[in-house]
C-alpha cells in the first residue's frame, strides 16, 4: 500500500508546517473535491468559494484526523458540511407538501443501461436543479444519508426531505430520458 504511506507522509508534512506538502495535498485532492463543490453549489463562483473555505477548514482540522478512516472521505465530509453551511445561510427552504412515503427506485447495481452518460452531463443536470432539490438529492442519493439525518442537517422535516427528493428524481428522470433518447436517435441515424 505505497499510496497509503505517501498520503500519511503528506499529512505529517502539512502538520509540521510544510507549505509544499500542503500544496501537494491540495493538488492531489482539489479536482475531486471541486466536483463535489459543483454538485452542491450549482454554479462555479459558489463552488470556488466552497472549495477555498473547505480547504481552509481541512488544514485547520488536519491534526484531528485519526488515520483510521478514509482520508478522502473525511475531506469530502468537510466540503459537504461547508456547502451545507453556506446553503443554510443563503437559502430559505420553501415549504412543500410533506409526504410520508417515497417510492424507492429498484436497486439494481448491475444496471448499465445509462453507463454511456457522461459525468459532465450528470453534473450539469444536478447543477440545474433548484437548490432545495439539489441538496436533498445529493445528500440522499450520493452521500447516503437518511431523510431523518437530512432533515436535521437542513432544518426541515423528514416529509419535506422526501418531497424534495421525489421532485428531484422526477426532474432528473426526465432529463436523463431526454438526453439518452436524443443520444440513441443520433446513433441510429
CB of residue 79 to another protein, shortest distance in Å: 12
Contact at 8 Å (CB) between 153 and 85?
Answer: no
Q: What are phi and psi of 115, to 5 degrees?
A: -65, -20
Site map for another protein, 50-89, x if CB under 8 A?
A: -xx--xx--xx-xx--xxxxx-xx----------------
Q: What are phi and psi of 116, to 5 degrees?
A: -75, -10
- The whole-angstrom distance between residue 127's C-alpha and the CA centroid of its chain comes to 11
Show the cell assigned to 14: 502539512
Q: Pick from 100, 101, 109, 187: which binds another protein (CB under 8 A)?
A: 109
Residue 167: closest CA among 123, 120, 135, 144 = 135
Site map for another protein, 125-144, x if CB under 8 A?
A: -x----------x--xxxxx
How many residues would you count in the chain?
189
Show the cell assigned to 13: 508534512
Which stretches of the chain bind another protein, using CB under 8 A? Answer: 1, 4-5, 14-17, 19, 22-23, 26-27, 30-32, 34-35, 37-39, 44, 48, 51-52, 55-56, 59-60, 62-63, 66-70, 72-73, 105-109, 111, 113-115, 117, 119-120, 122-123, 126, 137, 140-145, 169, 172-173, 176-177, 180-181, 184
Amino acid at each position: 500500500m505505497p499510496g497509503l504511506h505517501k498520503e500519511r507522509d503528506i499529512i505529517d508534512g502539512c502538520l509540521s508546517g510544510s507549505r509544499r506538502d500542503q500544496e501537494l495535498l491540495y493538488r492531489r485532492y482539489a479536482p475531486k473535491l471541486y466536483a463535489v463543490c459543483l454538485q452542491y453549489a450549482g454554479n462555479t463562483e459558489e463552488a470556488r468559494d466552497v472549495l477555498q473555505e473547505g480547504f481552509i477548514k481541512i488544514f485547520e482540522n488536519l491534526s484531528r484526523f485519526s488515520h483510521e478512516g478514509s482520508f478522502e472521505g473525511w475531506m469530502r465530509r468537510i466540503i459537504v458540511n461547508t456547502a451545507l453551511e453556506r446553503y443554510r445561510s443563503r437559502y430559505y427552504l420553501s415549504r412543500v407538501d410533506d409526504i410520508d412515503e417515497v417510492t424507492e427506485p429498484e436497486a439494481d447495481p448491475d444496471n448499465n443501461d445509462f453507463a454511456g452518460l457522461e459525468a459532465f452531463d450528470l453534473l450539469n443536470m444536478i447543477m440545474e436543479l433548484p437548490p432545495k432539490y439539489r441538496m436533498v438529492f445529493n445528500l440522499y442519493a450520493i452521500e447516503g444519508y437518511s431523510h431523518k439525518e437530512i432533515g436535521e442537517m437542513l432544518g426541515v422535516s423528514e416529509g419535506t426531505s422526501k418531497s424534495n427528493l421525489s421532485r428531484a428524481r422526477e426532474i432528473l428522470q426526465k432529463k436523463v430520458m431526454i438526453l439518452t433518447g436524443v443520444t440513441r436517435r443520433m446513433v441510429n441515424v
